[in-house]
Chains A and B, each alone.
Chain A
Amino acid sequence: MSDFFSAFFDDLPQLRSGLWVTLQATVLGALLALLLSFVLGLMSVSRLLVLRGVSRVVVEFFRGTSLYIQLFWLHYAMPPLTGYELTPLLCGVVAFGLNYGAYGSEVVRGAVNSVPRAQYEAAVALNMTPLRRMRKVILPQAWVQMIPSFTNLLIQLLKCTPLLWLISAADLMTVIQQLRDRTGETLTAYMTLLVTYFVLAYALTLLMNLLERSAKRRLGLQTGAGSLLRGRSAAEAVASTAGGAR
């Protein structure tokens, strides 16, 4: 075991850059997913059949074909087919963004639909334009409901980042694998990796809970400090029974 950790500390710069790649893929992928969630989600609640149809097809396509395939397709199949080649990290960001954007759009759609119709009617009675109704009345209320589901998706996305290893993106998993190969300490190496991911997942959950709390406070809802520390388990079960948000 001491072999592994002495190698571990010798390789700190590589580990740091591996962690950086993993974090970049997570954060950039999540931002792309967030953007797509709103674009596709708002299209799916549009009055125009064309927009709803396009959104439906795109969402079902990226949900239905496995993330793993999407990543490999971008990495292996796209260059010969189109002549364009993305860096491994960019492949990851695009694949994570597309896949989780499709799931996220269902979150946006559900949250927008869950805002009581009375709110929409009040906005009509005040003669707001459709755009303003959405921006000023519906979305601010829907946003609070989206955050717990987005937290789940963010953790799922984080958990998919070791896939980067398969397309040689020099992420955290790649670096730890190299350490394992050099030291032969299989159990320690993988436990270290798992614990690192666990800590990352918890840090992200905490951040998202903070975000949720500030959003709730803006709605004038009271929240206790306990809500910050609670895990995701309860919310996850709800999300799954509510139609497989995953």
Chain B
Amino acid sequence: MNGFDWSAARDALPLVLEGFEVTLLATVLGTLVAAVLGLAIAIAGRAPSRFVTVPVRVVMEFIRSTPLLVQLVGAAALFTFVEPLTIGIVVLGIHYSTYTSEVYRAGIDGVPKGQWEACRALSLSPRRTWQAVILPQAVRNVLPALGNYAISMFKETPFLAVITVQEMVFEARKYGADHFAYTEAFTLAGLVFLVASYPTSLLMRKLEKRLGH
């Protein structure tokens, strides 16, 4: 039993921050994938044919109801030829797209029916209908929700350490093992999470209020 070793924490800091860059990269790219893919899924879910909508719904429900960690480890074991960071970003993105697609869906459902009817009355093509009328109205309200999912994803990026992505927790764990200083390394990593996520979540709450949720 020993106390908290401040010098070990100071030593670990540069390594942890280096890992933090990878963490941020994974979060930003993962969110991007989730935002784009989620939108595509939401639009596919509105397809006129049941042969599209039903399989989409089943696959989404399956991915959403099963653990991210298993998906990550499974994908890494199957696609050994792909770089772990890429796998991590893609799997994070796909997993979270099952949430973001629901957010888009709610946003699209929130566009009044009259808007669709007006498009039809003007004989706009489906493409123009989505692009020029529906999406601009639907997307405005989903920003805070997307932001909240980005924060959630940020806090789940440590899962990437399991598939050997050298993000913050990976570095912290390595330092902890090498110097037998788990306490300092994990405490530090936890604090970095807190310092980064708390102000962001405050920002999202403010954004939500401004958009009148």
Contact = CB atoms under 8 A, between A and B. Distances in A.
Question: Do A and B contact each other directly (Cβ–Cβ < 8 Å)?
Answer: yes
A69 B78 contact: no
29 contacts: A60-B194, A64-B198, A66-B169, A66-B190, A68-B169, A69-B190, A73-B183, A76-B182, A76-B186, A80-B1, A83-B1, A159-B65, A159-B67, A162-B70, A166-B162, A180-B77, A187-B74, A190-B78, A197-B65, A231-B61, A233-B60, A233-B61, A234-B102, A236-B99, A240-B99, A241-B106, A244-B148, A244-B152, A244-B201
A81 B102 contact: no
A237 interface: yes
B67 A160 contact: yes
A70 interface: yes
B2 interface: yes
Contacts of A233: 60-61, 64, 102
Given A72-B186, A244-B201, 12 more contacts: A65-B194, A68-B156, A73-B183, A77-B183, A81-B4, A160-B67, A161-B67, A194-B70, A197-B65, A201-B65, A233-B64, A234-B102
Interface core residue of B64, B162, B180, B191 (most chain A CB under 10 Å): B64
A244 B145 contact: yes
B103 A240 contact: yes
Task: Using C-beta atoms within 8 Å of the partner chain, give the interface range for chain A.
Answer: 35 or more
Do most interface residues of chain B lie in helix, strand or loop, or is the interface mixed? helix
Interface core residue of B2, B148, B197 (most chain A CB under 10 Å): B148
Interface of A: 60-61, 63-70, 72-73, 76-78, 80-83, 155, 158-163, 165-166, 173, 180, 186-187, 190-191, 193-194, 197-198, 201-202, 231, 233-234, 236-238, 240-244, 246
Nearest to B63: A194
Given A66-B158, A80-B2, A244 B186 contact: no
Contact of B156 (A60, A66, A80, A198): A66
A81 B3 contact: yes
